[in-house]
């Protein structure tokens, strides 16, 4: 048996009780009971045998057995499917009573994981395409940076998903901007997904169930972002017993508890507190003078009055603090609350959701006499209604609607001390509301043809109170070309946008193992993140579509071949996609984004196109499992303006910041037995586009780079290998007490992957520097204990 | 803003070793070759004339010492005119430098100025009209000792300005400063018991781009605003002059962007690289911009003489060796002259004793 490779003598729990009873002649009977070592429940059907006596019986439903043997030294065998065969040598002189506890075989994969991972046929049979499904159990066993398992880092191993670099927040799907991803936690959008300026994701994997990222065909009930949907659901508490899980890693501690309260209520509560300062203190130089701290917490209470109904309340909060050695500190937080009611009236399932989500970012200046607090914030209140009904044996019809109210503070600055010379200044708040409705029909027309056709209509109103500047036509917008100001009172609609968003998916079965899937998807985005940096930073703020900022409009078509091999042991797919996005937000050269009351005059609309091919293959079961994905893709932008001076790269298409043509990723896992497994990741990705100077000049005695062309250059390619050993002491899914230990090596061959290449003055010269964030091998260990 | 240079440092932890680096490293990146563009630098101020304009082409160099001579423009025709009909021509004084010729043509607050450059290739460039806005006086200067030093920079005096922003919104400032500071070299022998070139006074200009908008503090005092660092190489007085200039909104944005584009850290906070757009355009093709900016500023001055007393040993790290070079100080150090007394015109300036 393969487990013998790592075999150590199994520790078996044996209790032998002797009881006396006389017997006739040279035979006697051995009585006993066989139970499960862990659950202590009786096992029925266990075969109990003796070779010498040539007798054998099986245990009854109470686990009891009676075996007649001859009086001699005997070796008894207890065997049962899925359990380790146990042998016991006895020399009974009289009738004997035995209590035997059998241990389960270490499973190939824990049942929990097997249950959670989707049906293997789904790859071919489902209508869904362009999705990435992540198993949380597996996520915890992949290699980690500083011992933190991380949702976004895991996603970036999938085809079509990239990040800007290590330590940078957000993620990019199929060449899209980070603000084009709709990240939902229990149906509620999260406006910030970063901890520690982007080193980690804001949600602990322990808080969520297995999740799916939709890179293309987003279901009709969702809208509002043009690139992707990441739907996270907070884990429900279990119904059997209160359980605890605690995890310690070099940067954080996590603790979660879940379980039932009475018969119909269950709960989940927990969170993470990080202490990166402890680690930062280990370094010399500036980082030691920095300070950081973050936490996130979640609570979910569910009430199940009957089998079809469920009421749940989810609360989530995350908080971050980061201070640089200089005078600036950053504080940002997300707060979220969701109330969901799900039930059934006759054949109609319905769901009512009311939610609230807010993100607040504070930048604090701590310099004496200039103490300030610059706040930006966004919040959303939303009510959603969803219905679905099986209208035919092969057809499910769903419909619903939602209304959301948004409020944005694009920036307000205030003094933080009485002696501060800073004046209070607040940008005008933005308010808006969105009304949306959808219908969707999923119909398996024939056994080999399924269609999902849906349409969503969303209408967005930008509302007063607000003063809108009117700019002179025929000139580039600027403060100088304002000729009028229109004042709108509270609730007055300033601008309304809206439109149909069709979503269609077709699955054509070519044979039982192969299908062709096609999809078309349109969505509109009314919220934009204003950011003149490549990654998301705490300085960025959200902006609504208004009179000068039309909604982003994304259209995507995709086609793919999906095929399973070897009785579904291997899943493979190849997808091509083409995506067009209108009205992307780009920035004028020299744009001033912070506290700019004329911000619209520094923004430019741009069009984007992205296309690519994604090929992936997966082996999801067995001792060796793994996933390999290769993507070839492009993502290009083009600024639309009538004024040559505002044009970027002379008005031609140029690579977007997320254009990374080649992307290869491999993840592999080997079960070593005895609960041990080995996992490895390899990632190769073309370097990110960058702008290098094309000529220098001198002003004020310093050399100044002239960046006349955007993104004409590239950083060196990124590649990295990670490895991890993990140990899971569980032998069956329901086991209460167990440990998971993960020992990781990140960036095994210590490649100095550059985050950026930049030019800066030093004395009277201009020098190029390369910044590497995690340029060495990073070992870490994490211990998770459950009880 | 952020310096993410996390130096490698390892410790043996509980059962694992941490080894974390995030470091910047100098690399060679070739400069892409494109057509050279005209670069204009200059301004008119309320200071008395002459005014200077520098003309050159952009090129492939990374250090001011390495600018190829052919990039300087020496055959252009330069004219500066105001909105009252006055104008002055410029004459070339040295490689790429032009000076105004009419000594009666000087900058006045409230007037608008425009620079015209006729190149020998037939192209004419012109600056957008730039108005001189008033500037308040500098209230006072204060000085602090900066005990930080490296192998290249000694300890120094930090100079701060205090001023009052007027009640009107939309004031933009720029500060420049220079100091005359004592330097020492080993000197050269000029005979028996004779040494010359040991002690000099060197002129140091602040190369920092120091601009401020009153957007967040309109009408309030601008307090303790850093303007200069005068390095302490040797014992003696530092003669500091601080200029406070008014800027237009456009030139403020220009200088702020210059600073942003040259003071990168490579971190997530870096703005995307972008070309700097100035106010000089080709008259025949208005969409063709020259690099650089022609500004117009009102100036207020403040001078201070720093008299260091009992300079403590730790502030004079430089004196023990590395900053005393071998040779004649006036030859070794740029813009240094033999002198020990007060420079002409400084005899009656305010003195500040620093202990």
The 10s digit of each residue's pLDDT in A629-646 is 999 999 999 998 888 888
CA dihedral angle for residue A587, residue A590, residue A595, residue A600, rounded to 10 degrees: -40
d(CA A152, CA A211): 11
For residue A763, give the nearest of A702, A718, A711 by alpha carbon. A702
- B interface mutation test: which of A163, A590, A725 has the most B CBs within 10 A? A590
Torsion of CA A569, A570, A575, A581, to 10 degrees: 70
Given a cut of 70, whether residue A756 has pLDDT beyond it is yes
State how far the Cα of A612 lies from the Cα of A629, in Å rounded to an integer: 13
The minimum CA-CA distance between A326 and chain B, rounded to whole Å, is 8
Output the CA angle A613-A578-A215, nearest 5 degrees: 75
Compute the average pLDDT of residues A642-658.
90
Q: A285-315: b or e for each residue (b if 16 or more CB lie within 10 Å)? A: ebbbebbbbbbbbbbbbbbbeeeeebbbebb
How far, in Å, CA of A542 to CA of A430, rounded? 10
User: Are the C-beta atoms of B182 and B237 separated by less than 8 Å?
Assistant: yes
Q: What is the pLDDT of residue A287?
A: 64
Question: Do the Cβ atoms of B9 and A532 come within 8 Å?
Answer: no
Q: How confident is the model at residue B80 (pLDDT cuts 50, 70, 90)?
A: very high
Q: A654 to chain B nearest CA, in Å? A: 14
The pLDDT > 90 percentage for chain A reads: 45
CA distances in angstroms from A464 to A432, A488, A491, listed in the order given: 8, 5, 5
CB–CB contact A770 B33 (8 Å): no
How many whole angstroms separate alpha carbon B64 and alpha carbon B42? 17
pLDDT at A557 (0 to 100): 96
CB contact under 8 A, A774 and B65: no
CB distance A423–B218 less than 8 Å? Answer: yes
CA distance A484 to chain B (A): 19
Rounded to a whole number of angstroms, the distance from the CA of A571 to the nearest CA of chain B is 38
Q: Which of B272, B291, B297 to probe by mutation at the A interface, max A CB count within 10 Å?
A: B272
Cβ distance A772 to B221 less than 8 Å, yes or no, reads: no
Tokens 């804001």, residue? A202
Judged by CB atoms closer than 8 Å, whether chains meet at A692 and B29 is answered as yes
**pLDDT at res. B321:** 61
Q: Phi and psi of A61, rounded to 5°?
A: -65, -20
Q: How many CA atoms lie within 13 A of A38 on its CB side?
A: 16
Residue B191 confidence (pLDDT): 82
Q: From the candidates B13, B17, B19, B22, which should be mutated to test the interface with A, based on the most A CB atoms within 10 A?
A: B22
Q: What is the 3-state secondary structure (H, E, C) of A400-430?
A: EEEEEEEEEEEEEEEECCCCCCCCCEECCCE
CA distance A371 to chain B (A): 11
Is the confidence at residue A649, as pLDDT, over 80? Answer: yes
Q: In this structure, are strands A47-50 and A55-58 parallel, antiparallel, or unpaired?
A: antiparallel
Using a CB-CB distance cutoff of 8 angstroms, which residues of chain A are in contact with residue B261? 704-705, 707
pLDDT above 70 covers what percent of chain A?
A: 93
Torsion over CA of B257, B259, B264 and B270, rounded to 10 degrees? -30
Which chain A residues are closer than 8 Å to B249 by Cβ?
479
pLDDT value, residue A106: 60
Peptide bond into B130 cis (omega under 30): no
Give per-residue pLDDT as tens, B41-70.
999 999 999 999 999 999 888 888 888 888
Rounded average pLDDT over B142-166 = 88
**A371 closest CA partner among B65, B220, B242:** B220
| Nearest beta carbon to residue B31 from set A421, A696, A701 | A696
pLDDT value for A121: 74
From the CA atom positions of chain B, what is the Rg in Å? 23
B26, A767: Cβ pair inside 8 Å? yes
Rounded to whole angstroms, the Cα distance separating A702 from B259 reads 10
pLDDT for A730 = 80
Cβ A779–B16 below 8 Å, yes or no?
yes
At residue A325, the pLDDT reads: 76
SS3 content of chain B, % helix, strand, coil (to 5): 10, 45, 45
Question: What local confidence, expressed as pLDDT, does residue A289 receive?
Answer: 74
Residue B276 pLDDT > 50: yes
Q: Tell me whether strands B336-337 and B199-205 are parallel, antiparallel or unpaired.
A: antiparallel
CA–CA dist A343, A150 (Å, integer): 33
At residue A273, the pLDDT reads 93
Q: Are A712 and B32 in contact (CB under 8 A)?
A: yes
Q: Name every chain A residue with its beta carbon within 8 A of the beta carbon of B1.
A: 324, 326, 328
Do A692 and B64 count as a contact with CB atoms less than 8 A apart? Answer: no
How far apart CA B152 and CA B140 sit, in angstroms, is 30
**pLDDT for A150:** 86
A697 contacts in B (CB within 8 Å)?
37, 39, 56-59, 291-292
Mean pLDDT of chain A: 86
Confidence band, pLDDT 50/70/90 cuts, at residue B216: confident
Residues 6+ apart with CB under 8 A from A186: A232, A233, A234, A300, A312, A314, A338, A340, A355
A574 contact partners, CB below 8 Å, separation of at least 6: A560, A561, A613, A614, A615, A616
Structure confidence at residue B84 as a pLDDT band (50, 70, 90): very high
- A24, HSE (Cβ side, Cα atoms, 13 Å): 0
pLDDT value at residue A118: 52
For residue A426, pLDDT over 50 is answered with yes
Rounded CA separation B257/A700 (Å): 13
Residue A119 pLDDT: 62
Q: What is the mean pLDDT of residues A8-30?
A: 43
> Residue A477's Cα: distance from chain center in Å?
40
The ipTM assigned to this model is: 0.87
* Beta carbons of B275 and A692 less than 8 angstroms apart: no
Residue A13 pLDDT > 70: no
Q: Does residue A15 have a pLDDT over 70?
A: no
What per-residue confidence (pLDDT) applies to A459? Answer: 95
| CA distance, residue B221 to nearest chain A CA (Å) | 7
Helix (H) or strand (E) holding A721, with range, is strand A718-728
- Give me the pLDDT at residue A3, please: 40
> How high is the pLDDT of residue A24?
41
Which residue in B261, B334, B337 sits closest to B65, CA to CA? B334
d(CA A557, CA A174): 12
- Top pLDDT among A282 and A557 is at A557
Q: How many angstroms separate the CA of residue B43 from the nearest CA in chain A?
A: 11
Give me the mean pLDDT over the A310-337 stretch. Answer: 91
**Can the peptide bond before residue A465 be classed as cis, meaning omega within 30 degrees of 0?**
yes
Q: B131: distance to nearest CA of chain A, Å?
A: 15
Predicted pLDDT of residue B255: 93
Q: Kindly state the average pLDDT of the residues B236-260.
A: 92
Predicted confidence band of residue A760 (pLDDT cuts 50, 70, 90)? confident
Pairing state between β B172-184 and B199-205? antiparallel
Q: Which of B25, B31, B219 sits opposite A693 (nearest CB)?
A: B31
Residue A258: other Cβ atoms inside 10 A: 21
B62·A765 Cβ contact <8 A? yes
Contacts with A281 from chain B: Cβ below 8 Å: none
Which residues are B88's β-sheet partners?
A: B80
Given this model, what pLDDT does residue A262 score?
86
Name the pLDDT band for B226 (thresholds 50, 70, 90): very high
List the single residue in B8, B224, B271 with the smallest CB-CB distance to A369: B224
Contacts of A287 in chain B (CB under 8 A): 4-6, 22
Q: What is the pLDDT of residue A10?
A: 34
Interface contact A712-B36, CB threshold 8 A: no
Contact A111, A126 (CB under 8 A): no
Summarize the confidence of residues A46-51 as an average pLDDT.
Answer: 85
Cα distances (angstroms) measured from residue B311 to each of B209, B239, B355: 30, 17, 7
What pLDDT was estimated at residue A413? Answer: 93
Say how far apart CA A50 and CA A46 lie, in whole Å: 13
CB-facing half-sphere around the CA of A588: CA atoms within 13 A: 21
Average pLDDT over residues A649-665: 93
Q: What torsion, rounded to 10 degrees, do the Cα atoms B221, B224, B228, B231 define?
A: 160
Q: Residue A345: is its pLDDT beyond 70?
A: yes
Provide CB contacts within 8 A for B62, sequence distance 6+.
A696, A703, A765, A766, A767, B31
pLDDT, tens only, A268-291: 999 999 888 777 776 656 666 778
DSSP calls for A251-282: SEEEEEEEEEETTTEEEEEEEEEE-HHHHHTT
Q: Is a pLDDT exceeding 50 seen at residue A367?
A: yes
Q: Give the single-character DSSP code of B273.
A: P
> What φ, ψ does residue B151 adopt, rounded to 5°?
-65, -20
Residue B86 is predicted with a pLDDT of: 93
Which CA distances in Å does A524 have to A176, A225, A446, B43?
A: 14, 6, 33, 49
pLDDT at B230 over 50: yes
Q: Which of A282, A657, A692 shows the shortest C-beta gap to B18?
A: A282
DSSP of B187-246, one letter per residue?
A: -EE-STT-EESSEEEEEEE----EEEESTTTTTSEEEEEEEEEEE--SSS-EEEEEEEEE
Asked if the Cβ–Cβ distance from A706 to B276 is below 8 Å, we say yes
**Residue B149 CB contacts under 8 Å (≥ 6 apart), including other chains:** B155, B317, B318
Tens digits of residue pLDDT in A146-199:
777 888 888 888 889 998 887 778 899 999 999 999 999 999 999 999 888 888
Nearest to A695 among B26, B58, B217 (CB): B58
C-alpha to C-alpha distance for A460 and A524, rounded to whole angstroms: 10
Q: Which of A282, A370, A771 lies closest to B24 in CB terms?
A: A771
């Amino acid at each position: 048996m393969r487990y013998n490779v790592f075999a150590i003598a199994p520790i078996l729990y044996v209790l032998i009780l002797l009881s006396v009873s006389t017997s006739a002649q040279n035979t006697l009977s051995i009585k006993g009971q066989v139970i499960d070592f862990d659950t202590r429940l009786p096992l029925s059907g266990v075969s109990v045998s003796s070779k010498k006596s040539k007798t054998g019986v099986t245990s009854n439903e109470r686990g009891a057995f009676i075996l007649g043997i001859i009086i001699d030294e005997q070796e008894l065998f207890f065997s049962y499917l899925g359990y380790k065969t146990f042998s016991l040598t006895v020399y009974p002189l009289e009738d004997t009573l035995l209590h035997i506890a059998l241990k389960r075989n270490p499973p190939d994969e824990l049942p929990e994981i097997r249950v959670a991972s989707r049906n293997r046929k789904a790859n071919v049979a489902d209508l869904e395409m362009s999705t990435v499904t992540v198993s949380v159990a597996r996520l915890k066993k992949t290699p980690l940076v500083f011992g933190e398992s991380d949702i976004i880092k895991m996603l970036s191993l999938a085809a079509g998903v990239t990040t800007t670099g290590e330590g940078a927040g957000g993620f990019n799907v199929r060449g899209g901007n980070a603000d084009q991803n709709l990240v939902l936690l229990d149906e509620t959008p999260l406006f910030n997904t970063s901890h520690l300026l982007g080193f980690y994701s804001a949600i602990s994997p322990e808080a969520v169930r297995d999740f799916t990222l939709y890179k293309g065909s987003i279901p009709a009930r969702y809208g509002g972002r043009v690139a992707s949907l990441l739907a996270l659901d907070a884990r429900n508490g279990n119904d059997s017993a209160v359980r605890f899980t605690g995890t310690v890693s070099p940067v954080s501690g996590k603790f979660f508890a879940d379980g039932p309260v009475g018969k119909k209520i269950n709960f989940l509560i927990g969170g993470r507190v990080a202490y990166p300062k402890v680690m930062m203190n280990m370094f010399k130089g500036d980082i030691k003078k920095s300070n950081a701290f973050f936490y996130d917490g979640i609570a979910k209470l569910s009430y199940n009055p009957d089998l079809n109904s469920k009421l749940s309340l989810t609360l989530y909060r995350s908080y971050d603090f980061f201070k640089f050695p200089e005078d600036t500190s950053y504080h940002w937080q997300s707060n979220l609350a969701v109330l969901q009611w799900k039930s059934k009236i006759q054949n109609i399932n319905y769901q009512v959701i009311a939610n609230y989500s807010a993100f607040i970012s504070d930048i604090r200046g701590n310099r004496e006499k200039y103490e300030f607090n610059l706040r930006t914030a966004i919040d959303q209140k939303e009510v959603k209604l969803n219905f679905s009904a099986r209208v035919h044996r092969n057809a499910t019809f769903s419909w619903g609607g939602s209304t959301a109210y948004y409020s944005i503070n694009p920036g307000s600055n205030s003094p933080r001390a009485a002696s501060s010379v800073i004046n209070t200044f607040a940008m005008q708040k933005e308010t808006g509301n969105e009304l949306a409705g959808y219908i969707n029909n999923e119909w398996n027309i024939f056994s080999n043809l399924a269609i999902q056709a849906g349409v969503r209509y969303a209408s967005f109103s930008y509302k007063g109170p607000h003063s809108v500047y009117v700019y002179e036509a025929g000139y580039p917008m600027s403060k100088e070309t304002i000729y009028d100001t229109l004042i709108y009172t509270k609730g007055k609609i300033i601008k309304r946008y809206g439109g149909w968003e069709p979503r269609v998916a077709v699955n054509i079965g070519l044979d039982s193992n192969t299908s062709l899937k096609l999809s078309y998807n349109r969505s509109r985005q009314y919220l934009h993140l204003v950011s003149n940096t490549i990654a998301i930073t705490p300085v960025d703020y959200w902006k609504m579509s208004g009179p000068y900022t039309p909604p982003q409009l994304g259209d995507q078509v995709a086609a793919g071949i999906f095929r399973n091999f070897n009785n579904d042991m291997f899943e493979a797919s190849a997808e091509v996609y083409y995506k067009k996005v209108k009205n992307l937000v780009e920035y004028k050269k020299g744009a001033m984004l912070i506290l700019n009351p004329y911000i619209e005059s520094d923004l430019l609309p741009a069009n984007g196109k992205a296309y690519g091919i994604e090929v992936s293959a997966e082996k999801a079961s067995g001792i060796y499992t793994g996933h390999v994905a290769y993507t070839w893709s492009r993502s290009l932008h083009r600024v639309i303006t009538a004024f040559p001076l505002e044009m970027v790269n002379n008005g031609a298409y140029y690579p977007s910041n997320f254009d990374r043509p080649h992307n290869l990723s491999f993840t592999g896992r080997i079960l070593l037995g005895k609960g041990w497994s080995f996992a490895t990741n390899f990632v190769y990705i073309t370097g990110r586009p960058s702008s290098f100077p094309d000529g220098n000049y001198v002003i004020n005695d310093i050399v100044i780079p002239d960046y006349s062309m955007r993104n004409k250059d590239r950083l060196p390619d990124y590649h990295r290998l990670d490895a991890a050993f993990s140990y899971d002491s569980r032998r069956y899914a329901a086991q209460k007490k167990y440990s998971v230990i993960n020992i990781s090596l990140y960036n095994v061959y210590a490649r100095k992957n550059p985050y950026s290449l930049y030019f800066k003055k030093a004395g009277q010269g201009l020098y190029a520097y390369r910044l590497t964030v995690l340029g060495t091998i990073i070992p870490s260990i994490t211990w998770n204990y459950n009880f | 803003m952020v310096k993410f240079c996390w130096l490698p440092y390892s410790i043996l932890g509980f059962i694992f070793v941490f080894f974390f680096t995030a470091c910047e490293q100098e690399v060679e990146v070739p400069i892409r070759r494109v057509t050279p563009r005209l670069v204009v630098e200059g301004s008119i101020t309320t200071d008395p004339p002459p005014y200077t304009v520098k003309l050159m082409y952009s090129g492939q160099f990374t250090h001011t010492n390495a600018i190829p001579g052919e990039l300087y423009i020496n055959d252009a025709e330069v004219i500066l005119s105001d909105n009252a009909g006055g104008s002055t021509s410029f004459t070339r004084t040295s490689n790429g430098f032009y000076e105004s010729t009419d000594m009666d043509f000087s900058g006045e607050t409230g007037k608008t100025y425009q620079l015209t450059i006729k190149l020998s290739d037939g192209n004419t460039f012109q600056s957008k009209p730039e108005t001189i806005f008033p500037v308040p006086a500098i209230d006072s200067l204060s000085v602090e000792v900066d005990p930080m030093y490296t192998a290249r920079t000694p300890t120094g005096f930090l100079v701060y300005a205090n001023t009052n922003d007027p009640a009107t919104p939309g004031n933009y400032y720029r500060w420049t400063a220079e100091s005359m500071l004592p330097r020492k070299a080993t000197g050269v022998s000029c005979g028996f018991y004779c040494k010359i070139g040991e002690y000099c006074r060197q002129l140091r200009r602040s190369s920092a781009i120091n601009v401020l908008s009153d957007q967040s503090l309109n009408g309030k005092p601008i307090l303790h605003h850093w303007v200069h660092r005068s390095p302490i190489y040797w014992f003696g007085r530092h003669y500091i002059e601080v200029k406070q200039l008014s800027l237009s909104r456009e030139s403020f944005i220009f200088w702020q962007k210059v600073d942003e584009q040259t003071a990168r850290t490579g971190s997530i906070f870096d703005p995307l690289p972008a070309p700097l757009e100035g106010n000089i355009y080709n008259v025949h093709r208005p969409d063709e911009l020259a690099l650089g900016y022609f500004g117009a500023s009102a100036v207020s001055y403040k001078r201070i003489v720093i008299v260091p007393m009992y300079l403590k040993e730790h502030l004079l790290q430089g004196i023990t060796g590395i900053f005393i070079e071998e040779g004649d100080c006036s030859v070794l150090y740029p813009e240094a002259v033999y002198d020990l007394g007060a420079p002409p015109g400084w005899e009656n300036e305010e003195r500040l004793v620093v202990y």
